[in-house]
Amino acid sequence: MKDFKGDLEVELHDNLSEVSWSEAEERAVRRKLDWHLVPPLTLMYLLCFIDRTNIGNAKIQGMSKDLDLSGLNYNYALTVFYIVYILVEIPSNMALKRLGANIWLPVLTVAFGGVCVGTAFVKTFTQLVVVRILLGITEGGMFPGTSFYLSCFYRREELLLRVGIFASSASMAGAFGGLLATGLTKIHSWGVPGSKLYMWRNIFFFEGLFTIFIGLMVPLMLPKSVESCKFFTDRERMIAITRLAKENDADDSHKVTKADIKAAIFNINIQFCAFGFLCANVAVQSLSLFMPTILNQMGYTPISAQLHSVPPYFLACCLAIFVAFLSDRTRQRGIFLVIFAAIAAIGYAVIMSTNNPKTKYAAIFIIAMGGFPNGPGFLSWGINSNAGSRAVASAYIMSVGTVGAVISTWTYMEKDKPGYKKGHAINLGFQIAVIALAGSCVLYCQWENKQRAAGRRDGRLVGLSDAEKRKLGYRHPDFRYIP
């Protein structure tokens, strides 16, 4: 509590167990955190996802022709981004812990905004690959960094809804991206000779410029820690600090060990969630990167394709937030994943089986609404399934899940247009895998909970000290999985 000064700090340190508060007081603390943290973090991740996927909007507005994105070139440009993205997640979080999330996340935002602006000036395919690599370097730390930052302010049972809200901005990015692309491509050619900006170049330039502006403003809004929140009264600050300290007990200074990593990797539930996240991520990322192209090949003009991409994303965003809320309220995870993966699978089956543009467009609605809620669902389920290091569990799940993004860049190939049936079939297969993984995980959770209730895991406690028993984490006989 080194950031909090004054008598209150001493009181909290010495009398932690004696501090109490009403539910109304804690609700007021939570409400202030929601108003001051969630909106700026959601906005930054929204811009992060827009700057990542606006290449899909730019592709059908002349970028493909100008930079020769024929054959596999477009897929290569998408792939390099995600490969670098995976590699920088851990180093980026190390920098975040050193500098503070309130500084590092805005720094990343300004950086990927600058890369987006730079993309407006690329002249060749090689230059495009270079800026996509730079974009992966600057964006790789945003999702894990934001998740970690939120976990420093919210209790565990409060975290999923907040992560769900900021993660849902991925679908909202598609809606805003389509609207912005529609307006920005109508700006007439402008700029100096040799570097004229027009059509697709305007998309990158103005979206990147706005991102930089937001990145410069956000540090004024984000606190470094609970102790430094200026929007709290002294009483509210005490409650905010103590409720987290009571929950975390003596583990606040716990350092990640090899045992934590081993425990996460060999937790079967985390494996279910990691590979479920991978499968779900294929649909989310491929839809984000290729929807404008798919719509364009269905017969829509470039401008019309941008506009028609907005409604499916908007509904998907609203539904993702609602599902996160409902999952928290009911303390159920797997059943929602099974249901919505099945909905997405139906959408892919429909879009493969018809040539009618209106039916295909309706199928895109079904795919978006079924696919987008599942990523945050698997991530939160995995964290709930690990009573040890949440950081290790979430990092592992996200690392494995990002492999799904790499796969997504190769689902829709130029040679498969206009129907892209192979790409739809690949995504259908991954949705079926999501159903199988989520359903199997539910059955395992229910079976294992029954074994523990019957006392069949009590032998793990024999001969252990109290400290050793606490270190058992999810293997402790009293631990119960959320199905």
Whether the per-residue pLDDT at 135 is higher than 90: the answer is yes
**Residue 96 and residue 204 in one domain:** yes
* CA separation for the pair 257, 248 (Å, rounded): 17
Which residues, 6+ apart, have CB-to-CB distance to 363 below 8 Å?
A: 347, 348, 350, 351, 354
**Residue 326 and residue 198 in one domain:** no
Does residue 74 belong to any structural domain of this protein? yes
CATH number of the domain bearing residue 375: 1.20.1250.20
**Residue 67 and residue 110 in one domain:** yes
Instruction: List the beta bridge partners of residue 190.
Output: 197
Does residue 193 belong to any structural domain of this protein? yes
**Residue 209 and residue 333 in one domain:** no
Tokens 């800026």 label which residue?
131
- Domain count for the chain: 2
**Residue 176 and residue 309 in one domain:** no
* Domain finish residue from 247, 281, 297: 247
Residues 338-371: tens digit of each pLDDT: 999 999 999 999 999 999 999 999 999 999 999 9
**Residue 325 and residue 232 in one domain:** no
Query: What range does the domain containing 214 cover?
Result: 6-247
More confident call, 390 vs 134: 134
**Residue 474 and residue 456 in one domain:** yes
Structure pTM?
A: 0.83
**Residue 279 and residue 240 in one domain:** no
Does residue 406 belong to any structural domain of this protein? yes
Residues 206-257: tens digit of each pLDDT: 999 999 999 999 988 999 889 889 999 999 999 998 888 776 543 444 556 6
**Residue 215 and residue 262 in one domain:** no
Does residue 421 belong to any structural domain of this protein? yes
Does residue 269 belong to any structural domain of this protein? yes
Average pLDDT over residues 80-93: 88
Average pLDDT over residues 318-329: 86
pLDDT at 258: 74
**Residue 126 and residue 159 in one domain:** yes
pLDDT at 482: 85
* CA separation for the pair 256, 22 (Å, rounded): 34
pLDDT at 359: 96
pLDDT exceeding 70 applies to what percent of the chain?
Answer: 92
Whether the per-residue pLDDT at 17 is higher than 60: the answer is no
Does residue 1 belong to any structural domain of this protein? no
* Domain finish residue from 247, 280, 298: 247
**Residue 179 and residue 52 in one domain:** yes
- Mean pLDDT (the chain) is 87
Structure token pair of residue 224: 């470094």
Beta carbons within 10 angstroms of residue 440's beta carbon? 14
- Phi/psi-derived region of residue 187, left when phi > 0, alpha when psi is between -120 and 50, beta in every other case: beta
**Residue 206 and residue 330 in one domain:** no
Integer CA distances (angstroms), 383 to 115, 148, 150, 174, in order: 33, 12, 14, 27
Does residue 374 belong to any structural domain of this protein? yes
Residues 253-308: tens digit of each pLDDT: 455 667 777 777 788 988 999 999 999 999 999 998 999 999 999 999 998 998 99
* Domain finish residue from 187, 214, 247: 247
